[in-house]
Every structure is written in structure tokens, then in C-alpha cells.
Chains A and B, each alone.
Chain A
Amino acid sequence: MSYVGHTREEGAAMLAEIGVASFDDLLAQIPERFRLTGLLALPPALSETELRRLFAEHLSHNYDPAQTPSFLGGGIYDHAIPAAVDGLSSRAEFSTAYTPYQAEVAQGTLAAIFEFQTMICELTGMDVANASMYDGASAAAEAVLLARAANKGTRVLLPETVHPRTRGVVATYLDGTDCRVELIPERDGRLDGAALAQALEGGDRVAALIVQQPNFYGCLEALDALPETLRAGTPRGPHLIVSADPLSLGLLAPPALFGAQTVVGDLQPLGIPPQGGGPTGGYFATRQAWIRRLPGRLVAEARDAAGRRGFTLTLQTREQHIRRDKATSNICTNSALLMLRATIYLALVGPQGLREVAGQCLARGRYARRRLGEISGVTAVHGGPWFREFVLRLPQSAEQVVARVLDEAGILAGIPLARFDPARERELLVAVTEKRSCAEIDALVAALSAVLAGAPRGNGRTGERKAGG
């Protein structure tokens, strides 16, 4: 099946009609030595039935997400997704359109983007938000590039409490620029304020500090106690960039209140399935002062000749298709369909729902951490305020414990932090969303107790489904 709109015979007739003797004549512009004579070495074509069978076979070698309560987080969370989000966002009118260059036949997408920009401004307290980025990590990197262009700083301060993968993406984006990354150490799960103050005092001009809220460990950073130079927002001063979980902003104060110049984050908690880590979509919100340095698409209200309100792409001279090498970013295709999902999600839950879901994460998380902390040998690593996610110290290797809890109880207990830092072999990052019932939390407590009470296994790999594929 190739979904082609004409048969070979029709194709030949079309060529004959335009005076082309054979298809090969069309290929004459490709030098013969580059033309492929044989077939590509690919597996045989499949019908829908066979394709379904292939996917079913592959998927049987994964855990079954529908049957496996998940306490995994670390950037991707198992939040409830209203059915209407799927139903509406999968409409072909939205999903098979492209960038709304022709506004008169793209008002659906454009109006949704305008709504999204508004909602993100409301959540973050910022003046302007764009039409989305690829994900939270690249949005953070773009925020650094904006800061660097605005204040000509060459140092980027990255606390160890920012997700290690966000730090990795930022470092990759900065490779080739005159900016370098400086790590700010952590202290009891939060960025070390004294070290930050010291970094701000000496050395070359600082482009930006990125603070993740809640941070990688689930701890809340003291945004209200950051040094004054960051909060002041002076034109050439260092930019405070806050990477904020948008769902937490149903409860937490808008980062604008703490002097943020740019607020970014990942949209995944807002009605977007985990999808193996992507696509998730990112948001990017900043001050009015930086609107002409904003990366990506921006939608504005506009009027037609009859005075009717519509929406259109605006300030396109920032963008690559107009400005080319002077563009603020190279981004073109972004995450419009994920932006739409987040918009519909926020419309459905409303202000009260967003507060409620954040509050439920708080309550269920508190219950889980208290119960898990009652298990002999298990302790919570960090003190102070936190949201949805926390780190436990176990009496043995977290990787092995996770595998055994999955094997024996069919529960995903959390993410072993050894994957990010070998020194944290016994630490486990546990996330608790509104979807985790009291019974599921109790089952995790029972499974973890049982696994820890039993003899530790050898180094055998567990958590395994049938191998192959």
C-alpha cells in the first residue's frame, strides 16, 4: 500500500499527455551513478491486519501501562487525561493542517494558539507567551539564548537541582557560542544560595540563572529568597529563568512575581501522554521588553476590512523564514498539536480544577511519603517544602529494588537516581499524581516492604518480559 493517487497506467497516461515518453526521462537530471537500480533492503510491505499484528507483538514485550500503577516522574508524569482532549485534538481539521501561514483558512489553529498564549501568561504572570517549543528542555536552552542576546553575558549558572537532562540539552545548545555553563552545587536538595551569591559576585557577566520549580528532586526552591540582582530585572542584568511545571502553577505563585525574565516548561502534565518521552511540547513566556527577541511563532489579534476579529501570525521578522541568519532562533515546526491539547486541558479543568489537581498531588504525595517512610530502613532524603515528587533512600540498590517490585507486584516504584549519578545508588525518585489511589499507594508500600524484607537477589536482570522483537 503506498496511498498513491493513480495507477501505473494512469501515471503513464499523465506523462504521455505532457509529452514525457517514460518515467525515466524525469530522472534524467539525476546522474546515472546516483540512481538506484535495485530495491531498498526493507522488510516486505504489510497490510493493516499484518501491521496490527506486528505492533501487538512488539508491544507485548513492554510493560502494560494500563495494568501497571506508575510512580515514575522525573519530567514525565502519569496525570489524568480527559477524554475530550483526545477526541478534539485528534480531529483531522487540527491534526492534518500545518503552520497557519494563510490566516483566513487557519482561524481554528490561530485562535487556539491565542488562547494558549493567554493561558500561559495567566499561569506564569508573564506578558507574552509564544505558540510552543519542542519541549521544556529546549525551551530552557532558547531562554538562555534570549538572555545572552539581551545582556551579552557569557556565563550561564545551572544549579545541580535542575534536571540533569535539561542541563545536558542546554550545554549542547550552547556549544559553539561564547557562553559557558557553571554548575551551582546543591544543598539539602536545593540550590546552594551562598554558592549562587558568590558566582554572581565575581567573574564575567552572567547571562542567566535557570531555576527549576519544583526542582529535579521535587523540592521547592526558595524563589522568594534569590539575590536582589536576579529579582531586579535590570536591562543588562542577569536573567532569572524559571523552568516551572505548568500544573504546579495551579497552586504555586506565578514566577513573574519573583523577577523571572523568562518562564519556560514542559507541557506534558497538561493532557499529554508520556509517549516514551516525546513529543511533549514546551512553553516559553517572557517580558514585554523581550518580545522582539522571542523565538518561534507568535499570534496576535487582527481585524479584517469589516472590522471582524480574527487572528494572525505576527512579528515574523524575528523568524528564520524572513530573517534567516539574523533570526532569534532556527525553530520552525514546533509542537502545535500538543499546545492544542494543553489548551483544551486547561479549558476543561479551569482554575478550580487546576488548583484541585495540584492539591491532590500534594495530598497523595504526603500520604505516600509518610507511609513509605514507615518501612524499616527507608528514609526521605530531603526536608523542606516539596511538590508531587520526593527522593527516598533505600537500604539497597534502587535499580534492583525497582526491578523486583515490578516483577513481584506489577508496580513501577520510581526512578533510580544512580542513572544520573552513580553515587546515588540507593536513592529512588518517587512521583505521586492524582491518579494514584490510596489502594495503589498501599500496594506499593506492601511490595516495597516485602522486597526489602526478602533476601537481596544477585545481579540477574529482572523486570523482563519475553526478550526479542
Chain B
Amino acid sequence: MKAEGTQVRDAGTAEACLPAGSIGLIFDLSVADHRGYRFPTLDVPAVEGEQELPKSLLRDRSPRLPEVTELEVVRHYTALSVLNHHVEKSLYPLGSCTMKYNPKINGELAQQPAAAFLHPDAPEGALQGLLAMLWHFERHLATIVGMEAVSLHPAAGAQGEMLGMKLFRAYHQQKGNQKREVLLPDSAHGTNPASVVLSGFTPRQIPSGPDGRIDLAALAEAIGETTAGIMITNPNTLGLFEHGIGEIAERIHAVDGLVYMDGANLNALMGLALPGQMGVDVIHLNLHKTFATPHGGGGPGAGPVGVSAALEPFLPVPLVARDGERFRIVTDRPHSIGRLHPYYGNVGVMLCAYAYVRSLGAEGLREASRAALINANYLMHKVDCAFPVAKRGACMHEFVSAAAWTRSHEVRNIDVAKRILDYGFHAPTVSFPLIVPDALMIEPTETETRRSLDLFAEALQAIAVEVREQPDVVRGAPHGTCIGRLDEAAAARRLRVRWNPPGEVDD
């Protein structure tokens, strides 16, 4: 667990005042004139910046970047890396994030130089292979969600949501509709209301019923002439299928509203059900979740958006079109909302996801979703005795447990989450969805074995016993990680968001 290389222990370093076991920074390793990379030898006449450029635009002192050898850089980031929990270490049951295994072959193919070094502004004729892959991938995604067309542009799910709201606007503007409100269930991801506001609409919250699904009566009351549409996550964040979606869509469509489906949880539906048949007008997918591209420590992702035929004319430019055997880049689309991404979106992520779709095929995708459901239901059953499931009945790809009972032992759900780290697993999503007090949101994904699920369930059962018998151990967790629980409140008060050279006043 200890990674000596990156932890400060030498009294001679710049941060001598830090206690041993502190996390080291690359700046601590800097030695004047050390270099970690050599550029090509200049084989044209040298030019001095001072001769060529106005002095007023030039830097008069160097940025204080570290000066380190390549080996020091390699050791430092290797040492940092092992401080991370990651999918290849053990179960990463972060609900709503679909932390499934990222097959090696997909990354290798997407990152090979013949793909990774393609410049997007090369002549169209010299990019036919890339355009073909994008075109085919777009069609495959449209098939998987049952929608008319797909835009690959959004760089992540939240940008897909924003695109969806721009499409709502374009549609209503064209029809001359006076629409203001977008309805959202109270179980929605935080990105949903933020995206609604960003696009000039007003969010209106719809309560969930006792079964954890949208309360249809409350919804009927909220729908009116100014309703622009609704954003629904399906399955929702409780891991339940919104079985009223057909009726919801009919009611929304009756006032010429539109239905947006947050497809973050599509891992539950591939090959089992088609959003396009449920009355959905717009849906975003998360390639880094459902389609197994690496999460990257927080990105890059990709959030392609599927639309119905009525919204297709508004999709952002450019699009890839096919004329027989030739692929063209199309920018001339009069009703388009314009540009969302400078090029075609996160192409590197798409190629990785394209490889995933091609390697699984229709049966493989269905098998993945089937197994995701089986694993989630199996784990839910095993965990229920320790941390009761919030809503009874079968779940889809994930479920939400409640740690509320631990309060009587003065233990909070965050303490339970931290204790899970000591057992060698990542914690579930904590305190979300907001409608379940002390929520632990658990998504095992299909790539886990039964043994892996059993080990995790046993850990939760053991922790439940600890809560009753040794609550101090849980409250003080984690104990076995490279660093103890950090004082976030103090960190926010004395806010240090950058390194400063020793001795320099940082405020």
C-alpha cells in the first residue's frame, strides 16, 4: 500500500515540514537544469524570440515548471498511479458510472498511430477510412437505441444533455411554440437540471411515487401548455425501469412536448429494449460507461445523442454522409443548431467504442446487458441483509441500499463507504439519489464474476457487524489506505489550490 517513491520522507526536500507519509509532488523533485526530454536539433537558422517578437509580448521570467530527469518523471507518476483504485485492481461498484472492464484490444486499435495521428482537416479524400468508421458507428448506435439518427459530437454525457436541450429549443422555435418548462423527476442526475438551466429553460421537479418511479398523477398535474418536455433517466437512478414511460411520452406529446432520455443507464437495455419504441425523442449515451471505453480518472468520455426523425434536421454540423462508396463531410444544413465541437467529437473514444460494438455484435451486447441485470440482482439479494435495499422487487443493472439504520450507532453512510475502501473495494456512489436517505448506490456491471460479487457482499456483511460491535473502527475509516480521511472542510477554508515554491507566501 505504501508507495515510497512519491511520499515525502527526506528532510532535505523542499517540503521538509511535512510529516512522513505525505503525498509528494513533482515540484519537490526539481533540480536546476535537469531535463526529461530532448527536442530535435535545430537545422534551420536560429531565431531569437527577442529579435522577432515585440518585447512587450514576451515572457520576462520562466514559468516555475519542475526540472526533472525522465527517470524521475517515470518514477513519480508510477508511484502516484498505484495510489489509485481502478477497475483492473478490484470491484469498482460506483453506481450510475458503469465501471466495467475496458478490453485491451479496443484501446490498442483506437490508439495506434495510423488512427491517433490523423488530422481532422486533412482533405476529405485522405480520410475516407476514418469517415467510414464514424459513419458505420453512428448507424450502429442508432440501431442499438432504435432512433432515426445520431450525432457523435458531444464530448460527454452532460454536453449531450445540453445538445438535447438545444434541440428542444430548435424544435419549439420552428413550431412557434411558447415553451418554458422542462420536467424532471426528483431522482434525476445533477447534470439534468444544470443542463436545463444552461439552455434557457426552467426545471420543474416531479416527485417520485412510493415505488421509486415517477408519480404519474403529479406529472399529469404539472404538464401544461408551457411544458417544453421532460428528461427521464431510464432505468432511473434507483435502478428501476420507468414502466410508465409509454404513458408519460403520450401525455408529453399531447402538449407538443418532447421526451429526453438520459441514457447513462443504457447498460441495462442493450438488445433487450429500444428507447426509440418508448416515445423517446432524444437520448444521450455514455460511451465511457455502456461501451467500455476507459473512464480516464474523470474523462475523456463521449456522449453521442440519438434523435427521432423530427429532430434530425437540427443536429449539429458537420455530419458524415455516404454517397455510394464515398463518405462526405456535410456542413450545409440550414436548420442545424450549429457547432457543438470544433471537429467531430471525441473520435479517439468513438473508435474504441466502435471496436467494442464490433467485437460483441448483437448477441454479445444483449449478453452484456443480461449479465449486468443478473449480477445486480444477485448482489442486491446478498447485500440486502446488511444494508436494506431502498425499493423492493427486481432491479435492473444497479440498486440503491440505505445505510440509515447505522445512524443509531452514530455511523453515517460515508463512514460505511470509507470502511469499504479498507476491504480493498471502491465505494458505491454515496448519498445519491437524493430521495433515498443515506443512499449507497451499487452497480456491479456484467464483467464481474460470482466470486467477486460474493467477496464484496461478504465485506458489506462484515461491515454491518462492525457498525454494531465496533462503530469506532467504521467511523475512523479508512485505516489501510495510503492516507487517512482528509479534512475537506479545513481544506476549503484555507484553500490551497496550487503548489508554491518553499518560502513563498501563498496567499
| Stretch from A17-25, A150-158, A197-205 at the B interface | A17-25
Q: Is A26 in contact with B47, judged by CB distance below 8 angstroms?
A: no
Q: Is B339 in contact with A172, judged by CB distance below 8 angstroms?
A: yes
Q: Is A117 in contact with B497, judged by CB distance below 8 angstroms?
A: yes
Known A107-B483, A330-B195, A350-B67; contact A441-B452, beta-carbon cutoff 8 A: no
Known A102-B417, A118-B498, A348-B36; contact A403-B125, beta-carbon cutoff 8 A: yes
From A84, A98, A276, A301, give the contact of B298 (CB < 8 A). Answer: A98
Q: Is B450 in contact with A278, judged by CB distance below 8 angstroms?
A: no
Known A102-B427, A311-B23, A353-B39; contact A275-B347, beta-carbon cutoff 8 A: yes
Q: Is B37 in contact with A105, judged by CB distance below 8 angstroms?
A: no
Known A165-B339, A348-B70, A462-B125; contact A364-B44, beta-carbon cutoff 8 A: yes
Q: Is B65 in contact with A92, judged by CB distance below 8 angstroms?
A: no
Known A128-B498, A279-B299; contact A94-B485, beta-carbon cutoff 8 A: no
- How far apart are A126's CB and chain B's nearest CB, in angstroms? 10
Provide the residues of chain A in CB contact with B111, threshold 8 Å: 90, 273
Beyond A59-B112, A279-B348, A462-B125, list 18 extra A-B contacts (CB 8 Å): A11-B371, A29-B240, A33-B246, A34-B278, A61-B128, A93-B84, A95-B296, A122-B64, A171-B339, A172-B166, A176-B166, A279-B302, A310-B23, A324-B194, A333-B158, A336-B300, A356-B39, A463-B125
Q: Is A104 in contact with B482, judged by CB distance below 8 angstroms?
A: yes
Q: Is B482 in contact with A107, judged by CB distance below 8 angstroms?
A: yes
Q: Is B128 in contact with A281, judged by CB distance below 8 angstroms?
A: no
The 4 closest A-B pairs by CB, nearest first: A277-B343, A176-B200, A469-B132, A45-B361
Q: Is A166 in contact with B125, judged by CB distance below 8 angstroms?
A: no
- How far apart are B18's CB and chain A's nearest CB, in angstroms? 5
One digit per residue, 1 when the CB lies within 8 angstroms of any chain A CB and 0 when it does not, for chain B 12-27 equals 0001001111111111
Known A334-B156, A464-B126; contact A175-B36, beta-carbon cutoff 8 A: no
From residue 66 to 119 of chain A, which have CB atoms closer than 8 A to chain B? 66, 70, 72, 74-76, 78, 80, 82, 84, 87-88, 90-109, 111-112, 114-115, 117-119
User: When chains A and B are docked, how far (Å) is the Cα of A57 from the Cα of B450?
Assistant: 39
From residue 18 to 57 of chain B, which have CB atoms closer than 8 A to chain A? 18-27, 33-37, 39-40, 42-49, 52-54, 56-57
B197 within 8 A of A: yes
B143 within 8 A of A: yes
Provide the residues of chain A in CB contact with B165, threshold 8 Å: 176
Closest A residue to B240 using CB positions? A29
Which of B77, B105, B302, B326 has the most A CB atoms < 10 Å from its CB?
B77
A437 within 8 A of B: yes
A394 within 8 A of B: no
User: When chains A and B are docked, how far (Å) is the Cα of A10 from the Cα of B446?
Assistant: 13
Q: Can you list 23 A-B contacts with CB-CB less than 8 angstroms, sorted by A residue number?
A: A4-B447, A5-B450, A27-B272, A29-B394, A34-B245, A39-B366, A40-B271, A42-B143, A82-B36, A88-B78, A93-B84, A97-B295, A104-B481, A111-B23, A252-B53, A273-B113, A276-B347, A329-B194, A330-B195, A333-B299, A334-B156, A346-B65, A461-B125
Q: Is B325 in contact with A42, judged by CB distance below 8 angstroms?
A: no
From residue 273 to 290 of chain B, which have CB atoms closer than 8 A to chain A? 273-274, 277-278, 286, 288
Which of A25, A40, A352 has the most B CB atoms < 10 Å from its CB?
A40
- How far apart are A94's CB and chain B's nearest CB, in angstroms? 5
From residue 219 to 261 of chain A, which have CB atoms closer than 8 A to chain B? 220, 222-224, 249-254
Q: Is B86 in contact with A278, judged by CB distance below 8 angstroms?
A: no
| Stretch from A134-142, A186-194, A372-380, A451-459 at the B interface | A134-142
Provide the residues of chain A in CB contact with B74, threshold 8 Å: 84, 87-88
B251 within 8 A of A: no
User: When chains A and B are docked, how far (Å) is the Cα of A306 from the Cα of B356?
Assistant: 45
Q: Is B36 in contact with A347, judged by CB distance below 8 angstroms?
A: yes
Closest A residue to B369 using CB positions? A2
Q: Is A434 in contact with B39, judged by CB distance below 8 angstroms?
A: yes
From A26, A275, A387, give the contact of B116 (CB < 8 A). Answer: A275
User: When chains A and B are docked, how far (Å) is the Cα of A331 from the Cα of B22?
Assistant: 31
- How far apart are B61's CB and chain A's nearest CB, in angstroms? 9
Provide the residues of chain B in CB contact with A27, threshold 8 Å: 272, 373
Q: Is B109 in contact with A438, judged by CB distance below 8 angstroms?
A: no
B263 within 8 A of A: no
Q: Is A5 in contact with B375, judged by CB distance below 8 angstroms?
A: yes
Q: Is B129 in contact with A61, judged by CB distance below 8 angstroms?
A: yes
User: When chains A and B are docked, how far (Å) is the Cα of A275 from the Cα of B109?
Assistant: 12
Q: Is B394 in contact with A28, judged by CB distance below 8 angstroms?
A: yes
B449 within 8 A of A: yes
- How far apart are A406's CB and chain B's nearest CB, in angstroms? 6
B102 within 8 A of A: yes
Which of B396, B449, B484 has the most A CB atoms < 10 Å from its CB?
B484
Closest A residue to B102 using CB positions? A96
Q: Is B342 in contact with A135, judged by CB distance below 8 angstroms?
A: yes
Closest B residue to A55 using CB positions? B109
- How far apart are B28's CB and chain A's nearest CB, in angstroms? 10
Q: Is B300 in contact with A335, judged by CB distance below 8 angstroms?
A: yes
User: When chains A and B are docked, how far (Å) is the Cα of A138 from the Cα of B243?
Assistant: 36
B232 within 8 A of A: no
Known A63-B126, A114-B499, A467-B326; contact A224-B63, beta-carbon cutoff 8 A: no
Q: Is B156 in contact with A310, judged by CB distance below 8 angstroms?
A: no
Q: Is A2 in contact with B80, judged by CB distance below 8 angstroms?
A: no
B304 within 8 A of A: no
From B27, B57, B361, give the contact of A42 (CB < 8 A). Answer: B361
